[in-house]
Amino acid sequence: MLAERIPDLAKFVEPDRVRREVYTDAQIFDLEMERIHEKVWIYCGHETQVPKAGDYYTVQIGRQPMIMVRGANGKIAVLYNRCPHRGNMLCGDRSGNTGEFFRCSYHAWQFHLDGKLKNIPMMESGYAGTRYGKDNPDCSVKRAARVENYRGFVFASLSPDGPSLKEFLGKAIVAFDDMCDRAPEGKVEVVPNCFRVIQHSNWKIFLENQLDALHPSVVHQSTGRAAHDIEKKIAKQTGKAPLSYHMLSAFATVTIDKWDNFQTINYPHGHSVLTGYMGLRPQDPDTVAYDKIMIKAYGQKRFEEIVGVNIHHVIVYPGLSVQSPLQQLRAVRPLGVDRTLTEIWHFRLKGAPEPIYRRSLAYYNLVNSPATLINADDLENFWKCHQGLASEGGDWVSFARHFGRDLEKDGVVSSGPNMGTSEAPMRNQMKAWAQYMQP
């Protein structure tokens, strides 16, 4: 029994190292789903994915197949994708419009868009005198215990208890504020559809990589160098290379020592922020035109505040990696102990000129999409990490880089000065993990 084999899961996590089973044991994975993913606030999708009544998008929360659906009253509900009759999934497609109600494809039970039972064929003759019928809540589709929408980003929690979404997000809320504030209209719109990548590795390996500021100049060096060579060639021929080359060449030109200049700030619940180079203010004509629109919308003072937010990357543990200055979001959906789906989305700033959108599309395609070598570089390491951890070559994973030099104040842990490559974010994630995993 697991209870005997693993008496205290917190013992698997020490402040500077973690047991390998945390990544490879299927029973621990099940417990993680129960105690973390099926409890805390998990990102379902953006409200613009379901603009009209009846629009739905299916999404996985922990082990549960769910449906995010727009109701007739405009409200978004999150339902279990399961018919209360014999268990059939109500939506087999990833997304679509279900019309005015859901109709199960098996025996035609019908449900309103909020999940409430609408009708059962031959309800009177078939179910008279039974426990089933209109008034039995078991005949309606089960709903997520809690749903909240923050600036268009829809989250659900499958547990009725726990902090509100805002309390849960804490300072990591900056991911959504920064993204939306950069839009002249104060909101973003999803670009329909995302890339989906199934990684053959544990979900935590992906999250740990996101704020690992040491790895880019090693893992992505070859990609960065190749882009840099071409960038230089184009610049020589034409005087100036397109900005998109810089998105890749930075992986070679920002060397390991420079990454230490950045900083990670680590918050309760496992969330973290990496401050850094995206705070730069280019002065090309596209940016100048955008700045003008922003100043008109917000005034000079507020505009300066908005574009002065100096963050590169935010982790909302346990399910999101957000690069708000470039409107990128990756959602992590664990499928099994060694299988993880990532959904790779990007957004359009409402009211911003097209070239500004093209910039985020370029970053999406060149850095985050499955087509780029950057993503492939990372994926190869994730798979190799998982394979190595599944071996008996060692029991522990080390998170000791700059351990003991973190600066802690009021529960917030910052990497020390000039220690941006600190493994503080991983230590922070595992600290939250150990707390969540307590029975």
Which among Fe ion, ligand FES, none contacts residue 396 (Cβ within 5 to 8 A by kind)? Answer: none
Residue 393's nearest CA partner among 5, 15, 13, 20 is 20
Given Fe ion, ligand FES, none, residue 88, with its beta carbon under 5 to 8 Å by kind, binds ligand FES
Shortest distance (Å) from residue 127 CB to ligand FES: 12
Kindly state the smallest distance separating residue 26's Cβ from Fe ion, in Å. Answer: 27
Q: Taking the mean position of all CA atoms in its chain, how far away is CA 270?
A: 13
Segment contacting Fe ion (CB under 5 A): 326-334, 374-382, 389-397, 406-414? 374-382
Give least dist CB 91 to ligand FES, A: 12
Of 385, 364, 346, 339, the closest CA to residue 179 belongs to 346
First to last CA, the chain: 16
Binding residues for Fe ion, how many (CB under 5 A)?
A: 1
Binding partner selected for residue 273 from ligand FES, Fe ion, none, CB under the kind-specific 5 to 8 Å limit: none
User: Per the structure block, which two tokens stand in for 150?
Assistant: 């923050």
CB of 78 to ligand FES, least distance (A): 19
State the minimum distance, in angstroms, from the CB of residue 400 to Fe ion: 21
By beta-carbon proximity to ligand FES, the closer residue of 119 and 369 is 119
Helix (H) or strand (E) holding 349: strand 339-349
CB of 126 to ligand FES, least distance (A): 12
Q: Which of 9, 30, 6 is nearest to 18 (CA)?
A: 9
- Closest Cα to residue 264, out of 326, 216, 313, 328? 313
Instruction: Considering the complex, state which of residue 141 and residue 306 has its C-beta at the smaller distance from ligand FES.
Output: 141
Q: How far is the CB of 108 from ligand FES (least distance, A)?
A: 6
Return the range that interacts with Fe ion (CB under 5 A); candidates 221-229, 307-315, 330-338, 376-384: 376-384
- Judged by beta carbon, residue 142 or residue 146, the one nearer ligand FES is 142
CA-wise closest residue to 77 among 110, 53, 41, 104: 53
Q: Which of the choices ligand FES, Fe ion, none does residue 17 contact, using the CB cut-off of 5 to 8 A by kind?
A: none
Which tokens hold the place of 2? 């697991």
Looking at beta carbons only, is 70 or 330 nearer to Fe ion? Answer: 330
Q: Smallest distance from the beta carbon of 117 to ligand FES, in angstroms?
A: 11
SS3 (DSSP) at 270:
helix
C-beta closer to ligand FES: residue 118 or 225: 118
Cβ 274 vs Cβ 421: under 8 Å: no
State the Cα angle at 333 between 331 and 337, rounded to 5°: 140
Which CB, 82 or 402, lies closer to ligand FES?
Answer: 82
Least distance in angstroms from the C-beta of 312 to Fe ion: 13
- Choose among Fe ion, ligand FES, none what residue 196 binds, the Cβ cut-off being 5 to 8 Å by kind: none
Nearer to ligand FES, 132 or 403 (CB): 132
Residue 378 touches which member of ligand FES, Fe ion, none, C-beta under 5-8 Å by kind: Fe ion
371 binding partner (options Fe ion, ligand FES, none; Cβ < 5 to 8 Å by kind): none
Q: Using CB distances below 5 to 8 A depending on partner kind, what does residue 86 bind out of ligand FES, Fe ion, none?
A: ligand FES
Q: Measuring CA to CA, which residue among 187, 193, 179, 195 is closest to residue 367?
A: 195
Strands (E), 254-297: 263-266, 272-275
> Hey, what's the torsion of the CAs at 168, 171, 176, 179, to 10 degrees?
-170
Site residues for ligand FES per CB under 6 A:
83, 85-86, 88, 104, 106-109
Q: For residue 175, give the nearest of 316, 357, 356, 296 by alpha carbon.
A: 316
Q: Among residues 102, 100, 68, 101, which one has the least CA distance to residue 83?
A: 102
Residue placing its CB nearer to Fe ion in the complex, 136 or 222: 222
The answer to whether 378 contacts Fe ion (rule: CB under 5 A) is yes
* 107, interface contact from ligand FES, Fe ion, none, CB < 5-8 Å by kind: ligand FES
Least CB distance from residue 428 to Fe ion, whole Å?
19
Q: Which is nearer to Fe ion, 61 or 367 (CB)?
A: 367
* 141 or 329: CB nearest ligand FES: 141
CA-based Rg of the chain, rounded to a whole angstrom?
23
The binder of 205, among Fe ion, ligand FES, none, by C-beta within 5 to 8 A per type, is: none
CB-based contacts of 300-307 (< 8 A; 24+ apart in sequence): 306/178, 306/181, 306/182, 307/182, 307/281
Are 351 and 297 contacting, i.e. CB atoms less than 8 angstroms apart?
yes
CA 161 to chain centre: 22
Q: How far is residue 333's CA from residue 51's CA, in Å, rounded to a whole number?
A: 23
Contact between 45 and 154 under an 8 Å Cβ cutoff? The reply is yes
CB of 102 or CB of 262, closer to ligand FES: 102
Residues lying near Fe ion in the complex (CB under 5 A): 378
